[in-house]
Every structure is written in C-alpha cells, then in structure tokens.
Structure 1
Amino acid sequence: MTDGGTPLGLDPEDLDGHTIEELTDYLDAGRVPADPSIDGSPGCALALDALERLRSLTPDLIARDTEEEPEPDASWVQSILDGIAMDARAGRRIPLTPPDEHADLALTEGALRGIVRAAENAFPGILIGRCRIDGDLTVHDAEVALAVEVSVPFGTRIRQFADELRAEIAARIDAHTALRVTAIDITVQDISSGKVE
C-alpha cells in the first residue's frame, strides 16, 4: 500500500474515490447492482477494462505455467497491474483539435494508453504491459513515439506480430487523436507457455 492509495499506487482521486479492491468486488458481482459513480468514471472504466482482460487470461496462463514450471514467475502479472495503475491516471491533456473560442476538445494521457492497450484485443493470447509515450502531448498535432512491452504466446512469429501490432496501434491512435506517431517500438518482454493455434 502506498500512503493512502491502493496497492497499485493509485490515489482515490485517480479512480474518483474508489479503490482497486472495490472495482474487483464490483466485477465479481457482475457489476450488479449498477454503481453510477463507478460506471461514470473514466479512470474506473479504464481500470475495469484492464482488470477484465487480465482476469480472462490469467487462469489459463497460470495453469500452463504450473504444469511446466515448479514456481511460475508472476512478475508479468505485476507488470500488467502497474500498467493498469498508469492507465487510470489522467496524466497530460492531449488536444484533439486546434484551440478555438467555441470548442476545446481533449483526451487524457491515460485514455491514450487505454487506446494503445485495447489493440491487444486484435491478437488473442497477448498482453500489453508498460506503454511509454515520448513527446509533447500538450501541443496539437505533436509528434510522439511509443514504446510498448508485450507478452506473447509461444510460437508467435515475433517479427510479423510486431509489424501487425504496430499497424493496429497506429490505426487506433490515428482514428482517435490528432497525434503524429513517428515510431512505435515493440518489445517482447515475455513468451508464455501457451502455444499459438
């Protein structure tokens, strides 16, 4: 626990006063009864989405690791949890359009990380961990570079996969922001024992 925060190092204001434990309990209950203070919070939405993705993959990966290794290393789980903590923080404000007197549209850095992390949905069995964003996000039409860490199933053709993931992330960022992505570096941090089918 950090001082007054959650086990992931989040402060209550990052999740609009809620904690990771509350969000986990909310998922366990099937989000019933509905809690508008959770459902209406962007930070909670990002954290819930990441927890659901992690939850869907964790049992299978741990079972495979248990079969093949006496003591599976759970550091990759902590890496994903750290990513959830980062995603839930709003971070810098990214303008979506040039400022004008009638409209000031923006996206948060946390939401941008959520867009990047959602690219994993296009590749069954992978997990996106840490995502670093370099560049001045506060300037409209800024150039940025991304560094993304991933875990992939055994048997993945890594070079082909990296190209496909890079294209998927670039397309998602282009669809939702005015940022100009100059580079997307993909680092495979872990290869899980589950094989690609």
Structure 2
Amino acid sequence: MELMNNDEPTLDTLSMWLQDQQDGVQTPEHRELTRHINECPSCSQRIAALKRVDQVSADLVSTEVAVQKKDTTWLDDLMANLVFETLAGRSIPLSAEYDVDNFSITEGAILAAIRGVADSMENLIIGRCRLVGDVEEPTSPIIVQVSATVRYGAVIAEVTDRLRELITAEVHRVCELNIEAIDIEVQDIFGSPLEAGE
C-alpha cells in the first residue's frame, strides 16, 4: 500500500482501491484499506471526490472520440486540489456559551462541506476552493474563491448564482465566518453538443 508522508494513502492508492471495490476484489490488503477509509474522514472525502471524477469521466467517454480529445485541464485542476482540501488547515474558532469552552472547526472541514454542496449540482464541478483572509480572527472578512467547470449548454449565470446560494447557506450552517464575497471563476466547459441533445 502506497502511503503519503503522514502515513495516509495516496490518491493513486485510493483510486486503485475504488476500482477494486467496483470489481468486487476482497483481498486482505483491500479489506484493511477499507477499514481505514471508513474510519478516516480525510480519506472518505477523497473517495467521494474520486467517485465524482469517475462519474464525470464516464459521461465524457460516452461522447464521440473527437470530443474525448478535448482539453480536460479542469480535471487535472480538480485532482490537484483534493489533497490540499482534505488536510486540516487552519483552526477556525466557534462561539461558546461559556468562556472556558473552546470550540473550533478546521479549514479542511469547511472546504469539504463546500465541495459537498457543489457536488450536488449536476451542471458544475469545482476545481480549486480556498478561504482567503484571517479565518482565525472572528469577524474578519473572508472571501471564498472557487474555480469551476460548467457543463455544455448550461446557463453559466444561473449555475454560478445557485452555487453562491448553496455555499452561503452551507458555510453559515457549519461555522460563523464573515463571508464578504464568493468569487467563482468559470475556467472551462465539460461535455459536448451531443450530450446537450444537439
């Protein structure tokens, strides 16, 4: 089993585990990694993201060969950010009823929550997601920066407006950050005219 420096499975290892899971492989190594994934929030988040990537890849493979050759740097962008977003990151304080209590949530947990609501949208995939600002200082203005890829045929303004609504609601649900703005940069389009029924 290939591990990262902190003894966590690499994305390649998790990707191979996912393929084995789909193929019904039940080796001792596979079962051991399954137990780790079930107990590790970070690996569980990565598996969820990899499943999303697999689904999008399957959608693309269903199109013509010419479309498959389309530049897919958005997919590379997504993969490159998975490890960063599932690290703990900075500690974000939460209010408590008593001064002796000290509650907080990690930056990684908030990014995972944002990616979770984005993954619920059929016409969009987010690549990079960052919290810009001093998240460790209560009331400090924070900007959520997101890069996104939108499905061919979708109305970009409608998709991004909906994403802002979902991110705003989810961030307010899990923490008390002072969100000043949500910047969404649409970097690419996925899918094809064939998928849109043209």
Q: Determine if the TM-score, normalized by the shorter chain, exceeds 0.5.
A: yes
Seen in structure 2, the aligned counterparts of structure 1 residues 94 and 139 have a Cα distance that, compared at 3 Å, is: same
What are the equivalent positions in structure 2 for 1:1-197 lying under 5 Å apart? 11-13=4-6, 16-30=7-21, 33=31, 35-64=34-63, 66-68=65-67, 71-98=69-96, 102-194=100-192, 195=195
In structure 2, give the amino acid aligned to 1:181.
Answer: I
In structure 2, give the amino acid aligned to 1:148.
Answer: V
Mapped contact 2:93–2:103 kept (Cα < 8 A): yes
TM-score where L is the length of structure 2: 0.81
CA displacement 1:123-175 (0-9 Å, x = unmatched): 21321101121111112343211111111111111112211110111001011
TM-score where L is the length of structure 1: 0.82
Structure 1, gaps ≥5 residues long:
none
CA displacement 1:62-109 (0-9 Å, x = unmatched): 44363436x322311110101212212221111222595543222221
In structure 1, give the amino acid aligned to 2:55.
Answer: S
Mapped contact 1:66–1:72 kept (Cα < 8 A): no
Distance 2:122 2:166 in 1: 14
Larger Cα-atom Rg: 2
Distance 1:61 1:112 in 2: 29
Aligned residues: 186
Distance 1:65 1:150 in 2: 23
DSSP 3-state at the match of 1:12: coil
Mapped contact 1:96–1:178 kept (Cα < 8 A): yes
% identity of equivalent residues? 27
Seen in structure 2, the aligned counterparts of structure 1 residues 102 and 27 have a Cα distance that, compared at 3 Å, is: farther
Mapped contact 2:59–2:191 kept (Cα < 8 A): no
DSSP 3-state at the match of 1:151: strand
State the Cα RMSD in Å: 2.5
